Structure 1
Amino acid sequence: MSRASEPQHSPEPDAPYGEARDAASGGGEPLSADEVLDVVDEHDRVTGTARRADVYARGLRHRAAFILVRDARERIFVHRRTDRKLIFPSRYDLFVGGVLGAGESYDEAALREAEEELGVTGLPRPTPLFRFLYEDGGGRGSWWSAVYEVRWDGPVDPQPEEVAWHAFLTEDEVAARLTQWPWVPDGLAAYQRLLRLRESDTQQP
């Protein structure tokens, strides 16, 4: 996949899209295949548990948390997933986050996943925005998705096993790339829902 349209990631202060980094994803097996997840029904009620690899292979419904991260300038943290990710490898994402472990709440997962992927501690508790049931068209089933937002003004040090590239982009810079880059489909669906909700709120008297 071509990276030519990625923002130039230069350490100089005049880098056009702020701090960014490329990280080698390394070799090895895909991550987290043996993690145990809750399996849920269409009403988001737990019906059992299964290994993450089995959840994806069998298309079992499960849970995930998505966290939109903004910095002090209201830019959005955007990253490219490594090629070792079990689902949607090497695609771009507007959210940090991931699946919920067995017995974990959405709020717990949102804070844990955000701190892990950003490589920070002391992150404020993410603010819940909405939930929706994402139906995957690639045979991976569906997952209840809780969407959050959080502000982080400090430096980030993303996990090289999870994040191959990252930058903080303005909303205009994101909009210019929505049709150019290969995005993870669930994150793109969540972001489009967020934009529609924001537009609806601004139109109300």
Structure 2
Amino acid sequence: MSADEILDIVDDNDRVIGQSPRGEAYARGLRHRCVFVQARDSAGRVFVHRRTPTKLVFPSLYDMFVGGVVGAGESYDDAALREAEEELGVSGLPRPSYLFKFLYDDGAGQSWWSAVYEVHCELPVRPQAEEVAWYDFLPEGEVERRLGEWDWVPDGLAAYGRLRAFRSAR
């Protein structure tokens, strides 16, 4: 999505209260919607990537999710599939499974409703060069080891912590 794409602006309860171009929503700290999709390969390894330096938000940082903003009028489910296929560079991916939703708020003007999903990708991936600077499928243990070593996107870290808690509670 470009900075001109229109997003739904939402309130504390995830109700749509307006619309705004993406770039303006980011610049003014308007609450919107995002999806986080944890992609795993057939061996259960997690897709991890480093974002390109040209990204509007969190450039050059590592992430253990694919995903992004939900467009105006788009459902979380549709955005999860669209974003996963775009970032992984595949088509025909199974529909990601919804797990939970939470409000991400960094206390400094960045806040979005975040729907977390998971998907198994057994297709050969070809990530978008404009989105992904580096990628690999890593075993969960290696992802855990890298948490303290690499610079990660803060919203992805928040989602990952909640995902670990969600899985341990099941």
Give TM-score scaled by structure 1 length.
0.81
Matching residue within 94, 118, 127 for 1:149: 118
Residue 80 (str. 1) matches residue 50 (str. 2): yes
Percent identity over paired residues: 66
Unaligned runs of 5+ in 2: none
2:153 matched residue in structure 1: 184
Matching residue within 134, 145, 166 for 1:197: 166
2:135 matched residue in structure 1: 166
Unaligned runs of 5+ in 1: 1-30
1:109 matched residue in structure 2: 79
Q: Distance in 2 between matches of 1:61 and 1:170?
A: 33
Superposition deviation, residue 136 in structure 1: 2.0
Q: Distance in 2 between matches of 1:125 and 1:200?
A: 24
Q: Is the contact made by 1:124 and 1:151 (CA closer than 8 Å) also made in structure 2? A: yes
Q: Which amino acid aligns with 2:143?
A: V
What's the Cα RMSD here?
1.0
Larger radius of gyration: 1
Residue 37 (str. 1) matches residue 7 (str. 2): yes
Q: Distance in 1 between matches of 2:144 and 2:29?
A: 31
Q: Which amino acid aligns with 1:61?
A: R
Superposition deviation, residue 140 in structure 1: 3.6
Q: Distance in 1 between matches of 2:63 and 2:3?
A: 20
Q: Is the contact made by 1:63 and 1:144 (CA closer than 8 Å) also made in structure 2? A: yes
Matching residue within 88, 97, 108 for 1:118: 88
Q: Distance in 2 between matches of 1:197 and 1:66?
A: 14
Aligned length: 170
Q: Which amino acid aligns with 1:40?
A: V
Q: Is the contact made by 1:57 and 1:140 (CA closer than 8 Å) also made in structure 2? A: no
